Amino acid sequence: MAAAPNKFSNFSKPKESNQQTITGQTLSGLGNLIRLLPTGTVFTYQFLSPLLSNYGHCHTVNKYLTAILIGLSGLSCFFSTFTDSYVGDDGNTHYGIATKNGIWPSQNSRNVDLSAYKLRFADFVHAFFSLIVFGVVVLLDQNAVGCFYPVKDSTEKTLLMVLPPVVGAISSGVFMFYPNNRHGIGYPNDNSSESSKDSKSSGTGGGY
């Protein structure tokens, strides 16, 4: 005798499927946002956050340590947008800070126009949005949020669904108008390609 079909089994599949879809979209959106941040900073934050926050069960010391971690990580994201790199005459990659006159410190390189690396308005835009994106990463971190401001599951799900797509869409629009041509500290470096150096020397985006 064949077993009777379970009439309740069909009701659990749509809910489970919707939850998996939301989780997948959230991870995809968060992944796109993290690309805008320095890799080393994000990795260090994600590694230390559970430890310093005691996995969201904070005591007074844990709150101070987590706050320091968030502050230093945010400062690193902000500062990194003002750094850049170039390949010198010696064939090595050199890093420096963008200034109004070029990149500092800089070595004498006859084949590189260091003035093309000067500070631009777009750098401040990138720095501002880097802080916003990092703020989203912190808000989506259960350990940090649980340490300072525990939220209910419904609030957390709302953040997961709303923040990454909204911030991602805004950031993408801004970066279309202010493209980021820098390869600073903590960001992927492709200065070995000739196209990157050509775009630098031609002053792409220099009007911003």
The letter for the amino acid at 112 is: V
Read off the pLDDT of each residue in 64-88 and give the average, rounded to a whole number: 93
- For every residue of 138-165, DSSP letters joined together read HHT-HHHHHHH----HHHHHHHHHHHHH
Q: Is 12 or 72 the better-scoring residue by pLDDT?
A: 72
Indicate yes or no: pTM above 0.75: no
Portion of the chain with pLDDT greater than 90, in percent: 25
Read off the pLDDT of each residue in 114-120 and give the average, rounded to a whole number: 88
- Residues 147-172 have pLDDT tens digits of 888 776 676 667 767 877 788 778 77
What is d(CA 160, CA 204) in angstroms, rounded to the nearest whole number? Answer: 36
Cβ(151)–Cβ(138) under 8 Å? no
Counting Cα atoms < 13 Å in the Cβ hemisphere of 166 gives 8
Instruction: State residue 75's pLDDT score.
Output: 96
CA 170 from chain centre, in angstroms, equals 14
* Among the ranges given (20-34, 51-65, 103-117), the one the predictor scored with the smallest mean pLDDT: 20-34
Give which of 71, 43, 84, 117 is closest to 187, Cα–Cα. 84
What is d(CA 21, CA 46) in angstroms, rounded to the nearest whole number? Answer: 24
The letter for the amino acid at 200 is: K
Quick one: which H or E segment has residue 60?
A: helix 60-80
For the cut 50, the answer to whether the pLDDT of residue 23 exceeds it is no
Read off the pLDDT of each residue in 68-76 and give the average, rounded to a whole number: 96
Read off the pLDDT of each residue in 32-37 and give the average, rounded to a whole number: 71
Read off the pLDDT of each residue in 11-38 and give the average, rounded to a whole number: 55
Copy the structure tokens of residue 205.
Answer: 């985006």
Confidence of residue 123 (pLDDT cuts 50, 70, 90): very high
For the cut 80, the answer to whether the pLDDT of residue 79 exceeds it is yes
DSSP state of 188: -
The letter for the amino acid at 128 is: F
